[in-house]
């Protein structure tokens, strides 16, 4: 058992079973043994590779999309140029390089990274220089906001409810007879959601709260938020997974030494944005969205300039069998304005789980 595993086992022995959200939070952000708090997990030497690490094209196109939205909204100054969960700072570096010729954009931008990992903050400063770091979206200033969140929401803690006889039972981390970590179901509770027995419902209250805060800023002050992540619309089932050394493993196998993520359910995020007074788009497949922004032409120019990996990167980012379909992009913007480039407004009849998710933070409170 890992050092963090022993800490978790001791807490469960003393306090009882632990929710998956608390388990994820400890595994990822424990100050001494948490996955993100202690290492750089990105790239070939880490445990996974994100789109900005695959190719500069991704960050460039995100930057130009945000800059176009800034121009379309009258070039407000000053404005916050923010990224949630910025990793090594690669996306922001590519974004800034691509937008350096947009008149007034850099002068008006206040580059701000929302990052809780002390280790990753150091990595980001080395790449980007002096920037503003915040620990929470609640601390974002009350000015126009142009924001990107790439593979951020998938790492937020989730709860899992499983439909059982008599109601919904929360999946908990507990100890087996040998003292090893295992999963078990809590006592079922009644919830207003119909489903066949055995179905799993994943709830990310932290994600909807963050989206609500961002959308409130946009509704009042203007701007755009672009969210890119892997996931579905109104998803169901168990998607919680662990990744270590670029290979999947059990979520309880190496606490604190493996990345833990879950597929993003975009429906409650859109619902939170709409309830906060903003507009939201339907999720676009990443491949379709990047093509709409001109990634094929950009790859051709890079290849012509001698970038031998441009075509392979294009394939990986956009192909249906790679990242092109699994990953989605969604935008949020002020309700009275048109959507940013590459996005379509959410159809009025589309369900956003408003009734099922509005009360998520208080769902099935633990005693």
Digit-coded pLDDT (tens) for 107-135: 999 999 999 888 899 999 999 998 999 99
With 60 as the cut, is the pLDDT of residue 365 above it? no
With 50 as the cut, is the pLDDT of residue 359 above it? no
What would the mean pLDDT of 230-248 be, rounded to a whole number?
A: 91
Listed residue (254, 199, 204) closest to 229, CA to CA: 204
**Mean pLDDT for the chain overall:** 92
Alpha helix segments (H runs only) across 84-227? 90-98, 105-108, 118-128, 205-221
For residue 79 the two structure tokens come to 């404005």
Cβ(239)–Cβ(262) under 8 Å?
yes
Rounded-to-integer distance, Cα 259 and Cα 151, Å: 12
Q: How far is CA 226 from CA 153, 211, 269, 331, in A?
A: 12, 11, 12, 5
Q: What is the pLDDT of residue 351?
A: 62
For residue 185 the two structure tokens come to 């179901």
Parallel/antiparallel/unpaired status of strands 223-232 and 132-134: unpaired
Tell me the CATH class for 3-360.
alpha beta
Q: What is the pLDDT of residue 308?
A: 95
What would the mean pLDDT of 170-194 be, rounded to a whole number?
A: 96
């Amino acid at each position: 058992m890992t050092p963090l595993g022993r800490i978790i086992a001791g807490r469960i022995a003393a306090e009882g079973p632990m929710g998956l959200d608390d388990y994820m939070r400890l595994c990822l952000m424990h100050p001494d043994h948490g996955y993100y708090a202690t290492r750089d997990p990105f790239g070939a030497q880490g445990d996974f590779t994100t789109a900005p690490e695959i190719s500069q094209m991704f960050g460039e196109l995100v930057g130009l999309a945000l800059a176009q939205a800034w121009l379309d909204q009258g070039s407000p100054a000053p404005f916050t140029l923010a990224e949630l969960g910025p990793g090594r700072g690669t996306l922001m570096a590519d974004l800034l390089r691509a937008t350096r010729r947009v008149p007034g954009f850099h002068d008006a931008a206040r580059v701000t990274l929302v990052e809780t990992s002390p280790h990753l903050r150091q990595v980001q400063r080395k790449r980007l220089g002096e920037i503003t770091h915040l620990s929470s979206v609640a601390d974002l200033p009350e000015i126009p906001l142009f924001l990107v969140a790439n593979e951020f929401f998938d790492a937020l803690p989730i709860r899992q409810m499983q439909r059982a006889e008599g109601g919904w039972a929360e999946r908990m981390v507990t100890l087996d007879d040998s003292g090893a970590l295992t999963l078990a179901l809590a006592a079922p509770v009644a919830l207003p959601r119909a489903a066949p027995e055995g179905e799993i419902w994943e709830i990310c209250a932290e994600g909807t709260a963050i989206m609500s805060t961002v959308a409130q800023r946009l509704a009042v002050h203007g701007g755009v938020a672009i969210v890119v992540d892997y996931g579905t619309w109104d998803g169901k089932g168990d998607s919680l997974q662990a990744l270590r050394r670029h290979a999947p493993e059990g979520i309880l196998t190496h606490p604190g030494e493996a990345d833990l993520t879950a597929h993003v359910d975009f429906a409650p995020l859109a619902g939170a944005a709409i309830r906060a007074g903003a507009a939201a788009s339907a999720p676009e497949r990443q491949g379709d969205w990047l093509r709409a922004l001109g990634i094929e032409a950009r790859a051709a120019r890079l290849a012509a300039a001698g970038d031998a990996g441009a075509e392979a990167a294009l394939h990986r980012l956009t192909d249906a069998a790679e990242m092109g379909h699994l990953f989605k992009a969604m935008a949020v913007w002020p309700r009275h304005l048109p959507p940013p480039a590459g996005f379509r407004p959410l159809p009025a009849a589309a369900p956003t789980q408003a009734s099922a998710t509005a009360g998520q933070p208080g769902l099935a409170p633990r005693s």
